[in-house]
A and B are shown apart, each in its own frame.
Chain A
């Protein structure tokens, strides 16, 4: 079924528990799931079902207890902190519900940060960051600090930052969770455009309408996938 395109994410029998004192909370109980290059996937489920936990493991911010994870053919296993940092920088772009911008840096400097950690020279860094700010429609706001931007604008900056290092996969956790519906659709429109260019994107959401703007919905419940189906993508632009 996936023969023609590269497999971007392959996870097999993934388990994760949180230990709290003597108790242990089994959150992920054997997740199997693959994502091809160019897919736009929504991960859904009720609160506490383990969506964020799964996304953090995919993002190498956390480690699974059991199972295997392969990203673009690279097995992600026994990473030390340094290697994990390098992989995150090279392979992944993060978008968070609360934006997670650095508040004393301008929009441009925020976008440039992943490139700084790639060791790119300042001039090139700035040029490239500017191009991405332009792409998300915020070129004019380049010198503004996050507290001078609206929620939607902040999320656009975060998206530009996630894109700046040209990652293989974008991981977004409730990226519209802090935005009103119009702004949410504008952001989803941007996400769709980026996906149209071929970028693989995973979004965690609990909003049905947002999920239907992706191409595939994966449903989590009690730590297992209970449903995984392709859907007809609703273009966000129609709702704006």
Chain B
């Protein structure tokens, strides 16, 4: 149907009627542009909301031990459970492919920290590199703890912004030595936390270092995990509940805890508290798609109208073509082809401009509720598919009208 000859014919028509082509294209091009920007902003909103609503990753699963309540395998009830490094390893090695981020932790709730004449009491947490993402700690200076720090038990510390303000006032703390419980630690980073002041009044050290310094051996206090994000709340809840159940089962078996014991292992699944956020985000997404599609639809109707006017303007030409032997189908094909071609090209331009704008300006946008608006590949592809459909829809009615024009009537009107 799309022969080379017709491409030449269409191209000739388009290039010799530039203004008309521009007007047609502009409608769809700007429609797509707005759609892309809207979708980008919607992603930005989502980022912003996620950032605003809580201090921790919304799908975090925390595990901390308690006391047994059931006598089991020769152990009395009331036994304190102590988690160790190998319990954490058991989980990360056993079901690693389901995990996005994971960290175990050992903390001291009130550690005395001093720098020169300033001092204060802060929570000291021994953590792993992933902990940054579990806590949503944003590094504003230096860096977070890395795998190597952990391996060689560096005496490094990452301090919260509040700790920095307390101890260092306005100076940069990076590279300075501070004392934690009398031992020297080098400050390697400063973080802020959307959880606010309370969560910025902590310092992080490598887990292995904390275990040595506080004489904890291989003990850990708790561990946290996140799973890869799901778009849909119900699915996210299902996956994360299943994951929690699996951890519980693994740990109970290893630590010889009765399967029905409810107090020995505590699992807090944060996702259960975040239903509203998921709902808000999906409502937001529906809203933006809705507005976007409506914009695009307006564009399609615009093009359709312009094409109708074009067909009317070309009535005589169509009459001439028919008198010379154009079949009705070839008139339909001509108009549809032109419409699809023009919408596709102009829409593509709109898409590209939209993407460029988001790419260039997006990262600079850090408002409270909009962060880093961007559009992913899938959305770009869906928009492209929409485009072709738009061209076909926009061309259909005019084409149909064009095909119905009788040559004799067309030639008569002067």
Contacts and interface: CB of A to CB of B under 8 A. Distances in A.
Contact of B321 (A61, A113, A121, A122): A113
Contact of A117 (B8, B17, B324, B406): B324
A102 to B, nearest CB: 5
Contact of B329 (A56, A82, A109, A161): A82
Contacts of B414: 98
Contacts of A62: 408
A81 B328 contact: yes
A56 B326 CA distance: 17
Given A104-B13, A104-B16, A109-B12, A85 B322 contact: yes
B329 A117 contact: no
Contacts of A119: 5
A122 B7 CA distance: 12
Nearest to B3: A119
A105 B323 contact: no
A116 interface: yes
Contacts, number: 67
Interface string A89-105: 11000101010111011
A82 B324 contact: no
Contacts of B321: 102, 113, 117
A88 interface: yes
B13 A161 contact: no
A119 B330 CA distance: 11
A100 B408 contact: no
**Interface-centre pick from B12, B13, B406, B408 (highest chain A CB count, 10 A):** B408
A61 B323 contact: yes
A228 B414 CA distance: 32
B18 to A, nearest CB: 11
Interface residues of A, number: 30
B328 A94 contact: no
B12 A86 contact: no
Given A105-B12, A122-B8, A86 B327 contact: yes
A81 B332 CA distance: 13
Interface in B314-369: 316-317, 319-330
Nearest to A62: B408
Contact of A82 (B13, B327, B408): B327
B407 interface: yes
Contacts of B13: 104
**Interface-centre pick from A82, A109, A116 (highest chain B CB count, 10 A):** A116
A116 B5 contact: yes
A96 B414 CA distance: 12
Interface in A158-182: 161, 165
Given A81-B328, A82-B327, A89-B325, A61 B408 contact: yes
A85 B5 contact: no
A143 interface: no
A118 interface: yes
Interface string B388-414: 000000000000000000111001001
B5 A88 contact: no
A94 B5 contact: no
B71 interface: no
Contact of B325 (A56, A96, A114): A114
B323 A116 contact: no
A98 B412 CA distance: 10
Given A85-B322, A85-B326, 19 more contacts: A56-B408, A61-B408, A85-B325, A86-B325, A88-B322, A89-B324, A89-B325, A94-B323, A96-B411, A100-B316, A100-B320, A100-B411, A105-B16, A113-B320, A116-B5, A117-B324, A117-B325, A122-B5, A165-B325
Interface of B: 5, 8-9, 12-13, 16-17, 316-317, 319-330, 406-408, 411, 414
19 contacts: A59-B323, A61-B406, A62-B408, A81-B327, A85-B325, A85-B328, A88-B322, A89-B325, A105-B12, A109-B12, A113-B321, A116-B5, A116-B9, A117-B321, A117-B326, A121-B5, A122-B5, A161-B324, A165-B324
Top 10 nearest A-B pairs by Cβ distance? A89-B325, A117-B325, A104-B16, A61-B408, A114-B324, A85-B327, A82-B327, A100-B320, A81-B328, A62-B408
